[in-house]
Amino acid sequence: MSEMLTQAGANYGFFFDQELCTGCKACQIACKDKHDLPIGVNWRRVVEYSGGTWTAQGNALTQNVFTYYTSIACNHCEDAICMQVCPTTAMSRREDGTVYVDSSKCVGCRYCEWACAYGAPQFNAAQGHMSKCDLCYDYRSTGQDPACVAACPSRALGWGPIDELRSEHGTNDAVAPLPDPSITKPRLVIHPHKDAQPWTSTAGSIANPKEI
């Protein structure tokens, strides 16, 4: 996808292959390094979701234990609630469909952070305003992949016009522990892990809450 330039009206989004993700966090580290993010601010996070039980049957034990990872950042949602609640219009959308923070307008009120179901906007105390993934607009403008995509050693991450991603990979965007996608209509496509649970499931829990 590195040959793709930022195009007006493309409505870019992310593709994530959950089957390929090993939870190495290379995407998270690459994002943090590229944007020089301070401690506590992570535009991309890798969530570990685990669950299942062991059952005794006579002298034998059977299990349905599962663990899988979800790499998540801003999904540049079609109904971006961060834009709806922003009192200064600092949360803005480019012609290519990606959502970014106009730092000249942001007052750091954090309404967007509280409203976002994915926790994408995050307050940068050193700068005094909100910050978030903009799908590496500067890299894309020069024909490069976003930092997270380029860093993934298992090629679990991809990006592109969301219509093309959905045509190629399907429309699944509702895997636990992600929220109800109808809230914001994320521009995200997930190829689910074989043990992936639906977003409504309570069969598991987040195993690394302090990291995310």
Burial of 58 (0-12, 13-18, 19+ CB in 10 A): exposed
Asked if residues 160 and 1 have their Cβ atoms less than 8 Å apart, the reply is yes
What pTM was computed for the model?
0.93
pLDDT at 2: 47
pLDDT at 4: 56
- Can you give the residue ranges of every domain in the chain? 12-211
User: Range with the lowest mean pLDDT among 4-13, 180-189, 198-207?
Assistant: 4-13
53, 68, 175 from 171: Cα distances, Å: 30, 19, 11
Q: CATH fold of 12-211, please? A: Alpha-Beta Plaits (3.30.70)
What average pLDDT does the structure give for the chain?
95
Give residue-wise pLDDT tens across range 11-24: 999 999 999 999 99
Give residue-wise pLDDT tens across range 24-39: 999 999 999 999 999 9
Task: Report the distance separating Cα 150 and Cα 44, nearest Å.
Answer: 14
